């Protein structure tokens, strides 16, 4: 063998040895990217404000306390539709609604929040969506547990919990927020005016999602129309989990998950086709 000749076996072996570390480095690159985005989100969203994560708990606590004060004291409505503690009744409606709303808002602004990082080839738009979804879901679960535990301790309520119903309700709220948020992630960037329109559309939802009342209190001629509001199903299932005597037969998890998956599918389809155009605008 001359000096200019090469040994094919040796060259192949060297290439294989060089490829092994590269493969190992790429194996968990997506997970590392998502984790880095989660840490960045935690630092920018909660790390820069005094109190940090404390505000994530104080915000729903303040809202529940304020509405309880206005309704139970100001309007003198002392007896809720279910149970005897109005704050618990209101929390079983407000917290699932907030879970859906916050998740949808966070996911919808994923590209806008991480626009500069998405210009790097290693960071994909799905990484930004997943990172925000995971962090917001974990935050909302923590807030839900702390608020409900606090209400239980303060009012010394006797609770017979249907844990599977509670977890299913939270899952429905989370998935609905992910699906609608993903679709809005495209629409907010492709049509900026839609963000303002969506905000206006969502304002009446707080009053139309059975947070202050139960579905059975709605006049029967409007029930068939109100049934198509998916948040009503989420709230109804949550109240079934806290009130054993509440049946909530109208609840359809299949309907909520269908809306979540359909909006998620079309959101990902549109983002996959147009995310580069969105980043270049």
| Mean pLDDT of all residues in 73-86 | 71
Phi/psi for 209 (5° steps) reads -115, 25
Alpha carbon distance 232, 208 (integer Å): 8
Q: Which two tokens stand for residue 56?
A: 């994530």
Read off the pLDDT of residues 144-197 as tens digits, 9 standing for 90 and up: 998 888 888 888 778 888 999 999 999 999 999 999 999 999 999 889 899 999
96 contacts 103 by C-beta, under 8 angstroms: no
DSSP string, 137-153: HHHHHHHHHHHHHHHHH
Distances (CA, A) of 43 to 114, 132, 135, 265: 13, 13, 12, 30
Write the pLDDT tens digit of every residue in 225-261: 999 999 999 999 999 999 999 999 999 999 999 999 9
Task: Give the separation between CA 278 and CA 40, rounded to whole angstroms.
Answer: 22
CA nearest neighbour of 181 among 253, 109, 256? 109
For the chain, how many helices (H) and strands (E)?
Answer: 12, 0
Place of tokens 């917290």: 95
The pLDDT value given to residue 51: 60
Q: According to the per-residue pLDDT averaged within each range, which of 57-71, 104-118, 182-196, 251-265 is highest?
A: 251-265
Q: Tokens 């072996």 correspond to what residue?
A: 13
Half-sphere exposure of 237 (CA within 13 A, CB side): 23
pLDDT, mean of residues 58-75:
72
Residues 6+ apart with CB under 8 A from 43: none
Q: What is the DSSP letter of 98?
A: H
Long-range CB contact pairs, 71-77, < 8 A, 24+? 71/212
Buried b (16+ CB within 10 A) or exposed e, 90-112: bbbbbbbbbbbbbbbbbbbbbbe
Q: What dihedral do alpha carbons 94, 97, 100, 103 form, nearest 10°?
A: -40
- pTM, two decimals, is 0.84
């Amino acid at each position: 063998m001359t000096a200019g000749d090469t040994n094919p076996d040796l060259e192949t072996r060297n290439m294989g040895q060089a490829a092994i570390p590269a493969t190992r480095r790429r194996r968990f690159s997506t997970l590392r990217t998502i984790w880095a985005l989660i840490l960045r989100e935690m630092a920018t969203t909660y790390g820069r404000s005094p109190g940090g994560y404390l505000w994530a708990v104080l915000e729903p606590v303040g809202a529940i306390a304020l509405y309880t004060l206005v309704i139970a004291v100001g309007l003198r409505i002392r007896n809720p539709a279910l149970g005897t503690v109005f704050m618990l009744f209101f929390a079983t409606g407000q917290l699932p609604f907030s879970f859906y709303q916050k998740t949808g808002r966070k996911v919808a602004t994923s590209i806008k929040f991480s626009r500069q990082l998405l210009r790097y080839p290693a960071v994909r738009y799905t990484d930004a969506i997943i990172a925000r979804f995971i962090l917001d879901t974990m935050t909302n679960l923590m807030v839900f547990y702390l608020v409900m535990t606090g209400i239980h301790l303060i009012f010394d309520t006797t609770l017979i919990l249907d844990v599977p119903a509670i977890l299913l309700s939270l899952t429905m709220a989370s998935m609905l927020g992910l699906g609608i948020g993903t679709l809005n992630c495209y629409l907010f960037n492709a049509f900026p005016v839609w963000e303002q329109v969506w905000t206006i559309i969502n304002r009446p939802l707080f009053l139309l999602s059975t947070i202050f009342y139960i579905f059975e209190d709605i006049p029967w001629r409007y029930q068939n129309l109100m049934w198509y509001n998916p948040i009503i199903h989420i709230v109804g299932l949550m109240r079934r989990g806290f009130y054993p005597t509440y049946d909530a037969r109208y609840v359809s998890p299949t309907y909520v998950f269908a809306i979540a998956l359909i909006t998620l599918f079309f959101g990902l389809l549109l983002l996959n086709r147009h995310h580069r155009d969105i980043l270049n605008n």
